[in-house]
Amino acid sequence: MALITVPKPPKSAYNPDRPATSLLKAHVEHMREAESKLPIKYRSDFYAKAVRTEGEAAEYIRDVTEAIQEAHADAEKRRRTRRKKRRFEIAAAAEERPKNTSGARKRATSAVKKTRATKKRKK
């Protein structure tokens, strides 16, 4: 496979004070939409509509990306701990049989009812 060299971008390629382009504004809008789906504790304090420069857009995109990654990491931890607990509780619960504490008797099935009815008729 041939090696392709990519030249370094010039230092003027990123200017934090330059007005944000429509492509960058669209990216900020998509990030705002993604952020709105996050739990409140992960949301940033930025007002996405106020982003005007490349620097502000970069900062907002970085914050939202980090918040999404943190939310996913926390959710994965919760899933792992729940899974471990659930296995233990199910195994422990299977050994004990639940007791009928209400004092109510079970209802007779239809087969039992038929035999009772025939016994009453024979008497």
pLDDT of 16 higher than 80: yes
Distance, first Cα to last Cα, the chain: 98
- pLDDT band for 121, please (50, 70, 90 cuts): low
Cβ atoms of 20 and 28 closer than 8 Å: yes
Of 9-18, 60-69, 113-122, the one with minimum mean pLDDT is: 113-122
Asked, for residue 26, whether it belongs to a domain, the answer is yes
- pLDDT band for 87, please (50, 70, 90 cuts): low
pLDDT: which is higher, 3 or 122: 3
Among residues 49, 39, 44, 48, the alpha carbon closest in space to that of 64 is found at: 44
Asked, for residue 61, whether it belongs to a domain, the answer is yes
Q: Structurally, how many domains does the chain consist of?
A: 1
Asked, for residue 47, whether it belongs to a domain, the answer is yes
Q: Which domain covers residue 89, as residue numbers?
A: 16-95
| Alpha-carbon span 85 to 90, nearest angstrom | 9
Asked, for residue 114, whether it belongs to a domain, the answer is no
> What does the pLDDT look like over 20-29, one tens digit per residue?
999 999 999 9
0.85 surpassed by pTM: no
pLDDT for position 89: 55
Asked, for residue 111, whether it belongs to a domain, the answer is no
| Alpha-carbon span 113 to 7, nearest angstrom | 89
Of 1-5, 18-22, 82-86, the one with minimum mean pLDDT is: 82-86
Asked, for residue 73, whether it belongs to a domain, the answer is yes
pLDDT of 63 higher than 70: yes
Asked, for residue 38, whether it belongs to a domain, the answer is yes
DSSP-assigned letter for residue 19: B
Highest mean pLDDT out of 4-13, 25-34, 45-54, 107-116: 25-34
Asked, for residue 49, whether it belongs to a domain, the answer is yes
